[in-house]
Amino acid sequence: MTNFQDLGLADPILKAVNTAGYRTPTPIQRDVIPAINAGKDVIGIAQTGTGKTASFVLPILNKIAGTRKKIWPKTCGALILTPTRELAQQIAEGIKTYSTFMKVSAPVIVGGVSSKPQIKACARGVDIIVATPGRLLDLIEADAIRLDQTFQVIADEADQMMDMGFLPAIRKIMQALPKKRQTVLLSATMPPKIRSLAKDFMYKPTEISVAPASKPIDRITQTVKRVEKAAKKAALLEILSDKDVSKTVVFTRTKHGANKLAVYLDKAGYPALAIHGNKSQSQREKSLASFRAGKTKILVATDIAARGIDIDDVSHVVNFELPNVAESYVHRIGRTARAGRNGIAISFCDPSEMEYLRDIEKLTGQSLLPGSPRETQKRRKPRPSGNSGKKKNSAALRKARANQKGKQPSKHKARKNQQKTRKPEGGMPNDGLMRTLGKSKPQSAAA
Ligand code: AMP
């Protein structure tokens, strides 16, 4: 079994990791830390909950510990790009934890708050910047920071950054960096846009993959309830009235829907806060802090907010509306069953959402509704292993669905192609931190 001591980390870092209570590296840490330490470009396929933050923060700190050189004003040694403010904040907290026994400057550069303190923080030069792309570009344009001394760059949750339209900003940022640098790209999925980003901006990247995002961790009990749209609110109240429901994240597809639902729940005697991209940074932080502390038991969120919610004791996730992108389902329900706990995910599905449900079932390879085409087919014939079998199986599935609907197979080709390229890992358990912590199986390369 690999220990943190085997990963070539400096003493203050080992001490901090030990103080944080980590005993063994998670699989992503075991593979990514030595690769970054060796100066390689790395593509890491991993979702939150796998310990990916430490997998890139520890080697950055290691470099700082090993090469204490002068930092020039308005420059930074390492840059971490993230899609959301919450995630940036979370990474900054990770840096704080892992650098307890070092002196490291790592300001957070995000939108939604005044840029003045950020400009001031960068003035003397800093070790690490944790930034969302838009605000970072603003600061570059305002001549408050330059990236010509930045030799390590990490793009975290790259797929979400693409979804949020950050691709042009990321390309601009990459072009402002020195040609000779180390680039690390972390993503839960590997859509073609990220492949092309990697091709344009990375040098012979090493690919490392753990627990594919298409597989929810198996400590989550998943249920889908067929509920008519008009009956969803009552069904939600019924769930929330259960005494076993403590902290719950309820997902809606739209910001407006999240606001409306939070107001409705409040009126119904279930105080709730909405969290989404239209809320100011301070509102979002306040809501998360209140939820984390247990003052507010219900958070109504949209997908954009989902990945930033890293709170250990969320007992339930309710999908009030199913996401229209299947991968989001995996991210949403991953807000529960964190830090080794169990969790419950309940999804409402009205007739108009059946197509979304089928996409989710196809992605996760799980039948969520009894009697769904996937389950019927599974009972008839076990899924063969190997790629050709898989293709046949999905063709048959498409046909079965088309027959059932009395129409031609769906034309979502782009998404299908994307899903086809996702290779399941040989023998890798499809769960998160606790199970994977104890395992030390070799990881296959990403698809
Ligand atoms: P992340 O995937 O980076 O969001 O990490 C998920 C959670 O796992 C965080 O609460 C971390 O503190 C925790 N964690 C990360 N690495 C380890 C480890 N090696 N052992 C135990 N817990 C860890």
Distances (CA, A) of 416 to 159, 231, 326, 363, 409: 16, 32, 11, 9, 12
Residue 416, both tokens? 């299908």
Name residue, tokens 């192609």. Answer: 417
pLDDT at 195: 85
What domains can you pick out in the chain, each with its CATH number? 4-209 (3.40.50.300), 220-379 (3.40.50.300)
Rounded CA gap, 389 and 22, in Å?
41
Q: Which of 19, 98, 433 to mutate to test the pocket of ligand 1 (most atoms within 8 A of CB)?
A: 433
Alpha carbon 164 to its chain's center: 13
pLDDT at 238: 95
Residue 391 CA to ligand 1 center (angstroms) comes to 36
What angle is formed at CA 344 by the lines to CA 341 and CA 345, rounded to 5 degrees?
130
Residues with CB under 6 A from ligand 1: 22, 25-26, 29, 48-54, 310, 339, 433, 437
Q: Which of 3, 13, 14, 22 to mutate to test the pocket of ligand 1 (most atoms within 8 A of CB)?
A: 22
For residue 123, the surrounding DSSP H or E stretch is: helix 116-123
DSSP H stretches of helix in 187-321: 192-201, 232-240, 255-267, 281-293, 303-306
Rounded CA gap, 137 and 108, in Å?
14
At residue 77, the 3 state secondary structure works out as strand
pLDDT at 14: 97
pLDDT at 279: 80
Q: State the pTM of this model.
A: 0.62
pLDDT at 308: 67
Instruction: Kindly give the number of the ligand 1 atom that is closest to the alpha carbon of 23.
Output: 20
pLDDT at 409: 38
Name the pairing type of β-strands 220-226 and 152-155. Answer: unpaired
Is residue 58 within 8 Å of residue 9, measured between CB atoms? yes
Instruction: Kindly give the number of the ligand 1 atom that is closest to the alpha carbon of 48.
Output: 2
Residue 50 CA to ligand 1 center (angstroms) comes to 6
Return the residue whose CA atom lies nearest to atom 5 of ligand 1.
51
pLDDT at 424: 27
192-219 b/e with 16+ CB inside 10 Å = b?
eebeebbeebbeebbbbbbbbbbbbbeb
Residue 21 CA to ligand 1 center (angstroms) comes to 10
Residues 6+ apart with CB under 8 A from 441: 27, 427, 428
pLDDT at 3: 92
Residue 265 CA to ligand 1 center (angstroms) comes to 33
Residue 404 CA to ligand 1 center (angstroms) comes to 44
Instruction: Kindly give the number of the ligand 1 atom that is closest to the alpha carbon of 433.
Output: 8
Mean pLDDT by 10 residues, the chain (447 residues): 90 95 90 96 84 95 87 96 92 96 96 94 97 96 96 93 88 95 90 85 91 68 95 96 91 94 96 87 86 94 76 92 88 82 93 94 85 44 34 37 42 39 27 26 27
